[in-house]
Structure formats: structure tokens, C-alpha cells
A and B are shown apart, each in its own frame.
Chain A
Amino acid sequence: MPVEIPKDTWTGAVREVTIGATAAEGGTRATTVTIGGATTMPFMHFEGSIPHRPVIAVEIVNHRPDDWSHLLLDAWGDAANDPAAWAKAAEQAGADLIQLSLNQTGADGNPITPESAVTATKAVLEASGLPLLVFAPGQAELDNELLVPIAEATKGERIVLGIAEDKNYRTIVAAALANDHLVSARTAMDVNLAKQLNILIGDMGLPLDRVIMDPTTGALGYGIEYGYSVMERLRLAALQGDAMTQLPMLVTAGYETWKTKEAKVGEGVPQEWGDWTARAINWEVVTAVALLESGADIVVLRHPESIARVRAAIDELMAVPAAG
């Protein structure tokens, strides 16, 4: 019996956002990454177009992050001692993008300086041709002190500067505006808060095709369901034509996962949790895949094995031929 495939009709689309600029475009990147553009819910190839696949950003830090799980540090080995080497290793591990996280302290244990932050950023840009996201430590004043000189020193690279939040977006957006960069806008798991921040950023004159939004998530077991649903709601709103939700979404699956006890702790945990390394990687992969299913355009990951697995999942999710 011939069954008609039920298709939803959508009027809206997610904006296309391009990260990075090649020499011809005023930067130095070997490649650029374009995300967004979808006219349907995640991977519903049968009813709309999904011109760009979701991508994987790999998180590296300006100096060896001793507070990271040694599972991660062991996996990256010596590369984790130096952001340039780490960026190269991340590229080899299958990264589409590099996310450089700036720690509050520098390698010498003293507070990070703008100079050292700029040096680290430039070293990463030299070591890898991938487009870059630079996320400051998350403390309003310090973030501004670091991101402004970074933005200036890398003018034209179309870097994503983060994290723009309601209390702290102006300086970051201005820096992006003046230096041809993008921003990542984070709000706390709420459709209206996300819209509001996008409006504020747009009002400053930054074209929305230079904004990605981070609706915040929790890890598996620690609030993932909230992140999952807010992403579905944002994507539905975007497809229904709400312009202020039509931005690609970034989720920090790695960061959230590696905060959890399941990923961080190997001893003194219930036996039912099973093998530590395998569990930690599962935790990151399950978190990332669930969030891809709910609309993530960029997933930021930490463990090399997770990168490989999530990449394979994206391949399969995108491999579907557009059926009738």
C-alpha cells in the first residue's frame, strides 16, 4: 500500500555562518567551515535541505590544563603541553575547528596576560590551518582584556570570540565588529533569553550571520534533557520563521561531560559504572550524539576517541540520499 511520506512544511531556515577566512578572504586559514542553512529539523533530508553537516570543534587550552582528567591528558600526550602542538594533534584527530580555551592563569601559574593570550592564539593559527574559536575564561573584565587584543591581532581571520553573555557582550561584540570576527552568544537554556541576546547583538550592528548561539547544555545525567529540549524548541522556532532564533547552535558537550563524576573519577565509584575510560568516552559520545539529534551545528569535544566516534555518527546521519 503506497504511504505518503508525511512532510512538515517550514517557512524559515537557519542562517549560514562561515567561520575562518582564507588568504583570498583576508585571513590565513587553509579552509573555512560553513554551518547552518538547514530548512528542516536535524537530518530530515526527506523534507528539506541540509546544505552543511554539523562540525566538530576540538577544545585545547593555552597551557597544559592540570585540572583536566588525566584520561584526557594521557590521550593527548605531550601535545597538551603546547597549544600549537595540541592544535596540530587535534587536526589529525579529525577536528573541523579548533576551540582555544584561555585559562585564567598562564603556564607559570601567574594570571594570564593579554600578551600571552595573543601569543597563544597566534601560535595556534600558525600551527593549524583550521578555523578557530577563542573562548576567554568567563570573567567579565578579564575576558574583555584578553579578547580585545586577540581580536585586533588576528583581524580578518573570522575567529569566533566567546563567550558573549547578557552581562558581557558589548566589548566582545564591538571587538568582533571592528576586526571582522564572529561571536558565540551564550544564554542559560531558555528560548527567550537566547532571542533577547541575539537582538541585543544585532542592535550593535553585528550582522547575524556572524553570530552563533550556545543555548547551554548539561551533560548526560546532569541536565542534558534541558539542553536537548531547548535546542529542539529553538530550531522549531527558527523553521517557523522566528528570525532571532535562526542561528546555528554550538554546544560544549566535552566541557560538560568532563565535569561529571562519571567521566572524571575512576576509583571509589560503583562497580556498575564499568570501565572508567570506556565510560568516560561513552559519556561524551552519548551527550554529543543526543545533542546533534536535537539540532547542534557545532559540538565541542575533548577526547580524541570521542571525536572519531562522533565524526562517524555525523557521516551516517548525513549520508542519506534525498528521497522522494
Chain B
Amino acid sequence: MALTGIQIYKLLPQTNCKDCGFPTCLAFAMKLAAKQVELSSCPHVSEEAQAQLAESAAPPIRLVTLKANGHEVKAGNETVMFRHEKTFYHKTGLFVRVRDDEGPDAIKARVAPADAYAVNYVGMDLTLDGFAVESASNDPAQFEAAIAAVRSASQRPIILISRDPAVMAAGLKALDGESPLIYGADAANWEAMAALAGQHSAPLAVIGATLDELADLTQKIQGAGVEDMVLHPVATTLGASLALNTQIRRLALKKNFRPLGYPLIAFAGNDPVGETIAATQAIAKYAGFVVLDHFAPETVYSLLVLRENIYTDPQKPIQVQPGVYEINNPKPEDPVMVTTNFSITYFSVANEIEGAGLPGWLLVTDAEGMSVLTAWAAGKFDAERIAKAVKQFSIADKVSKKRIVLPGHVAVLSGELEEELPDWEVRVGPREAVDLPAFMKQAL
């Protein structure tokens, strides 16, 4: 937690020498607390005070980055317990686990489709973040072979899983120049693992079943010079996991408790049904990284969408630019349809028209990023606004038939719109976008 102006003042020389450009040390301290000046503007702070101030300026949850071949996955630096308070920033990284005893061919066959997977959700291509490679054999050579197999199919960041430092060393060597996550350190192996983390500048996952155990380990490991850590609070039920994740996030954010101020990793379990549920909880409740054992498009798609939803800015809906969107190269005689600029709305409609291969002009009004009914209820999608968009984007110049289709949900607007646009024919379309292609074929 950041220090208050008064707390900072106590660490300053209190001589009011004005060298910083402020009349008093207190004035400077206030600016510093508000993050409007840099500490370096005061030439007289003691080294000790500098260290304390730097410490307090560090984020309460450390930002940890996994890197490989131009890909990065970041976790940490979160500032709130609930998404409505601000925003959750670093989207939970989703990883798929393979084991070295599966054999290189099987690994390649599992990794390649997961690596290539990209699903479009409201105009964004969502993908997985990387892979976890587990040494089940405990044989360094086999571990290396498994890592090589993953690397032959994917360049994304990797989580290395072994509790044996010798095996881990082999894995790290195989990924020289990257920052994989080392999983992990426990009470028995932490010294050797910390040494490896130091040598390879790779973050280290710390494993413990209780807060005490985790805090003990992170302090020892930090003492050994490792700063980048990730916590795995091991729990056997959803409820226990939720409690631990919440407690750790609270300690970090509310108490500025450094020993637990690190991002979290969760393993979603090995049965595909339970895995979806555990991953749902992990994404909603504070995990920075989630490891899945299965790659199935129908599961990954739902989890990726959940992640987008939980991590959106609660103040600002995702939106598209208002304007005229040309779908499937429309000609002047093709129909004009109107919708709002909420991304989910726009893409539901545009994808249907596009997917059906039908040409059309989609007029997207500025509804401040709201869905059709929300915008209608809020007075942001009414006849006046639609008419304004028609004029503003000069759609009449592009088409030969002045006919505009309203979303079925706002059929009530048709009378007013006819008044606003006397030379246009106003038609009411179906309520749901799924039914739009059929409507276009039959009625337009």
C-alpha cells in the first residue's frame, strides 16, 4: 500500500531547503504521495529512506512476466478485490499441461491444435497463452525431449513442472534465453530451486497448503535473491481454494503484506467436467495463471469468453466505431439495417449477415456502447438518433432503395422513425439476429 503524504514527510530531511522546487518538505511529500513528482527531485533523502519509499511504491501484488520468443504473459499488479471497484488488469493466463511420459509425438499432436487455436469473440481473436510441461518420468533427458516436442509445435511461454532440481535444471537449459515459470519450490527443495531461478532469471512458483507455509517460503526465497514469485496455494476443494485465494489477495491489497504479494497459479484438476468449473472459479477469483489438463475447443472457448467478461473495464463497454459497415460488398440495391455500437450487439448482427453470405449495409449508431434494449431504455437509441446517423453517415448516397430495417426489439420506434425520415420506408426486422438471414431472404 502506498504511504500517505504524512508518512512520506517523516522520511524526508524536514529542512525545507526548497531544492526540490517546493516551499516545504511537506508540500513535496504530498506531491509524492499523489505520484505527481519523482523522489529523485529531492537531492537530500537518505539511502535508508529511499529504500523504504521505493518499497512502498512497489505494487502490492508483484507483476510477474513469463516470456518466450516474443510472447509474454503477465500476471499481478492488480489493485482491487471486486471488478466494479476498478478493473482487473492482467487477464488470467491459460495453459495446457502435457507430461513427458506421453512421448514426443503425442505431445506434439496435443500441443499443435491448442497452439493454433484462436476463436473470435466480438472482433477479438482469443487464444491460449502457453503450455505446462510436467516431468512425470523424473528423467532429465525425457523432460528435455518433451520440451523440445512442445517447442516444435508452439513458441508460447512454458511452465516447467518438476520438484527435482536436477530435472528442472535440464528443463531450464532446454529453454535458455526464455523466462519460463519454474514450478516449483516447496519446503524441501526451495534452496536449489531458488538458485535455478536466480541463474536463469526465471520466476519461481512456490507451493504450500497454508498461508504460513507460503509466507515462510517466499521470505526465504526472497532472502536468496529471487524477486519474481508465483504462489500456488494448494487446496482440495473449490471452497478451500476460494478462501485461500481471497485471503492472499486481501493480505496483499489491504495489508500490503509483502510475503504474499505475488500472483497466483491454479491447477484446474484432471477431470474435464470439474476442470471447467475449477477454471471458472480461478478466472473469476484471482488466479493469474490457470493450468488445464485438457484442450477441448468447447471448454476453452467458454473460459476465454469468461476471462474477457471478467476483465473488461466496468466503466466502459466494449464498443465499435459508429458508421456504415459494408458487409459482403453490398450494392446500392442491397438492404440497410440499423443497430447500436455495443460490440456484442454489432458482432451478433454482422456475423449473421456475413456468415449467411448476404450483402447489406449495416448502419451502426452511436448508442454509447449499449445493447439495443439497454440503449432504447436509456434513450440512446431512438428515432431521432437513428435519423441523425442516417444523415451523418450519408447512407442515402450509397443506396438506391431508401428502406431501413429496425431490430425487432424496438419495433415501437417505427412510427417515430417514419416521421423523422419521411422519404424512407421503415421495416421491422426479427428480434434476434439469428433470424435475420431468413428475414433478408424472404422479406427484403
A residues bordering B, Cβ < 8 Å? Answer: 1-3, 5-6, 8, 43-46, 188, 220-225, 228-229, 232-233, 236, 259, 261-262, 264-265, 268, 270-276, 278-279, 282-283, 285-286, 289-290, 293-294, 309, 312-313, 316-320, 323
Q: For A290, what are the chain B residues with a Cβ–Cβ distance below 8 Å? A: 280, 284, 306, 310
Q: In the assembled complex, how far is the CB of residue A183 from the closest CB belonging to chain B, in whole angstroms?
A: 23
The complex places the Cα of A261 from the Cα of B305 at a distance, in Å, of: 14
List the 6 shortest-distance A-B pairs measured between CB atoms, nearest first. A274-B298, A274-B297, A320-B239, A279-B298, A272-B119, A316-B238
Q: In the assembled complex, how far is the CB of residue A186 from the closest CB belonging to chain B, in whole angstroms?
A: 14
Does B69 make an interface contact (CB < 8 A)? no
Contact residues, B270-308 vs A (CB, 8 A): 273-274, 276-277, 280-281, 284-285, 296-303, 305-306
Say yes or no: A261 contacts B348, CB within 8 Å. Answer: yes
Say yes or no: B243 contacts A273, CB within 8 Å. Answer: no
Q: For B277, what are the chain A residues with a Cβ–Cβ distance below 8 Å? A: 285-286, 289, 309, 312-313
Say yes or no: B284 contacts A293, CB within 8 Å. Answer: yes
Say yes or no: B371 contacts A6, CB within 8 Å. Answer: no
Q: Which of A225, A275, A283, A285 has the most CB of B within 10 A?
A: A225
Given contacts A8-B250, A272-B297, 19 further A-B contacts (CB under 8 A): A3-B212, A3-B260, A6-B250, A6-B251, A220-B302, A220-B306, A221-B305, A224-B309, A228-B83, A228-B284, A228-B310, A259-B432, A274-B299, A274-B300, A279-B298, A290-B306, A309-B277, A317-B237, A317-B242
List 20 A–B pairs whose Cβ atoms lie within 8 Å, in order of A's numbering. Answer: A1-B216, A3-B259, A6-B254, A6-B255, A43-B243, A221-B305, A221-B309, A221-B344, A223-B371, A228-B310, A229-B82, A232-B84, A261-B434, A273-B301, A274-B301, A275-B296, A286-B302, A293-B242, A313-B238, A317-B238
Does B246 make an interface contact (CB < 8 A)? yes
For B82, give its contact among A3, A232, A264 (CB under 8 Å): A232
Say yes or no: A1 contacts B377, CB within 8 Å. Answer: no
Say yes or no: B83 contacts A225, CB within 8 Å. Answer: yes
Contact residues, B114-170 vs A (CB, 8 A): 117-121
The complex places the Cα of A320 from the Cα of B238 at a distance, in Å, of: 9
For B119, give its contact among A222, A270, A289 (CB under 8 Å): A270
The complex places the Cα of A82 from the Cα of B216 at a distance, in Å, of: 61
The complex places the Cα of A80 from the Cα of B97 at a distance, in Å, of: 41
Q: Which of B239, B246, B276 has the most CB of A within 10 A?
A: B239
Mask for B225-245, Cβ within 8 A of A = 1, else 0? 000000000000111101100
Does B327 make an interface contact (CB < 8 A)? no
Q: For A236, what are the chain B residues with a Cβ–Cβ distance below 8 Å? A: 82
Q: Which of B84, B117, B120, B285 has the most CB of A within 10 A?
A: B84
Q: In the assembled complex, how far is the CB of residue A194 from the closest CB belonging to chain B, in whole angstroms?
A: 15
Say yes or no: B82 contacts A188, CB within 8 Å. Answer: no
Taking A220-B305, A221-B305, A225-B312 as contacts, is the C-beta distance between A278 and B299 under 8 angstroms? yes
Say yes or no: A223 contacts B344, CB within 8 Å. Answer: yes
Say yes or no: B276 contacts A282, CB within 8 Å. Answer: yes
Say yes or no: A233 contacts B84, CB within 8 Å. Answer: yes
The complex places the Cα of A233 from the Cα of B309 at a distance, in Å, of: 17
Taking A233-B84, A236-B82, A313-B238 as contacts, is the C-beta distance between A5 and B298 under 8 angstroms? no
